[in-house]
Amino acid sequence: MRLDVITIFPEYLEPLHVSLVGKARARGQLDVRVHDLRSWTHDRHHTVDDTPYGGGPGMVMKPEPWGAALDEVLGSGPGRPVLIVPTPSGRPFTQEQAVALAAEPWLVFAPARYEGIDRRVIEEYGERLDVRELSVGDYVLAGGEAPVLVMVEAIARLLPGVLGNADSHRDDSFAPGAMAELLEGPVYTKPPEWRGRPVPEVLSSGHHGRIARWRRDEALRRTSANRPDLIAGCDPAGFDKHDRATLAELGWAPGPDGRFWRASQAVEE
């Protein structure tokens, strides 16, 4: 997979040389190219921003350097990449998005600073590319570079051969399939007892069925405690009779449409 990042802070992307992404690059599984947006400016100060039309505080990134940079980067490879524009006003970046993007051969990231990029850039490239404006959470960061690091790591670990064990993301929180709307439960390693705290007995029972059931119950418990919105949004067809019993213990009951509902939910919401 090829990844291009156009930024005014190329050094911010240095972590892409480290750990899993760094190793994938070294093995040739990922071709990461980081570009300095200012190299497509022509004035002495390498200006990339200007005051906003309509007034107000802050600056807006000028369209000309972005247009020149994107034209050159797009012309440097075969086919058309997906263009990802991080922005708090975008659609949420989810595990489902990460899985879909991991199947693309080429992604170009356009992280902004200031108040964002002149809208006409998004419109212009939206006419010829799949442009996705994505948010990494309901908060505002100073720039899009940290969101790029987040998205690249989430995508890269899904590429075939990048994780040592190909199955290790199958049971992750939000993993497509049985975990799509659930959070993963707690995990343990040796020693069997630490500071008087034993590992749950079932995990050393060697009984695969009981272990799988315990893990599923813990996932339901954790999701119920930390993300009740996910349980409320779950398709009830995905719950078997054991799930339903665990959910009942946690105070959940099927509502008129079959979806699970909890009396305290109304108060929390």
Q: Catalytic residue positions?
A: 88, 115, 157, 172
**Smaller CB separation from ligand SAM, 67 or 236:** 67
The candidate with the shortest Cα–Cα distance to 114, out of 76, 87, 78, is 87
Handedness of CA 239, 240, 246, 248 (dihedral sign): positive
Backbone φ/ψ region at 254: left (φ over 0), alpha (ψ -120 to 50), beta: beta
75 is in an annotated binding site: no
20 is in an annotated binding site: no
**Smaller CB separation from ligand SAM, 100 or 141:** 141
4 is in an annotated binding site: no
The correct pick among 140, 187, 263, 266 for binding ligand SAM (CB under 6 A) is 140
18 is in an annotated binding site: no
Q: Counting contacts by CB under 6 A, is residue 152 touching ligand SAM?
A: no
* Minimum distance, C-beta of residue 34 to ligand SAM, in the bound complex (Å): 16
The correct pick among 136, 152, 154, 231 for binding ligand SAM (CB under 6 A) is 136
The correct pick among 78, 127, 142, 161 for binding ligand SAM (CB under 6 A) is 142
The correct pick among 126, 143, 185, 254 for binding ligand SAM (CB under 6 A) is 143
x/- contact string, 55-94, with ligand SAM (CB under 6 A)?
Answer: -------------------------------xxxx-----
Q: Token pair for residue 165?
A: 């064990």
Q: Token pair for residue 233?
A: 């949004």
34 is in an annotated binding site: no
Q: Counting contacts by CB under 6 A, is residue 189 touching ligand SAM?
A: no
Residue 257 CA to residue 232 CA, distance in Å, equals 11
Number of alpha carbons in the 13 Å side-chain half-sphere of residue 253: 6
**Smaller CB separation from ligand SAM, 65 or 147:** 147
36 is in an annotated binding site: no
- What DSSP state is assigned to residue 117? B
Q: Are 121 and 37 in contact (CB under 8 A)?
A: no
**Smaller CB separation from ligand SAM, 141 or 199:** 141
Q: Are 143 and 40 in contact (CB under 8 A)?
A: no
Cα separation of the two ends of the chain: 42
Q: Counting contacts by CB under 6 A, is residue 144 touching ligand SAM?
A: yes
The candidate with the shortest Cα–Cα distance to 111, out of 12, 7, 2, is 7
Phi, psi for residue 103 in degrees, rounded to 5: -90, -5
The C-alpha angle 16, 153, 151, rounded to 5 degrees, equals: 110
The candidate with the shortest Cα–Cα distance to 8, out of 45, 54, 39, is 39
Chain residues that interact with ligand SAM, rule: CB under 6 A: 86-89, 111-113, 115-116, 135-137, 139-144, 147
Which residues are annotated binding-site positions? 136-141
List the binding residues for S-adenosyl-L-methionine.
136-141
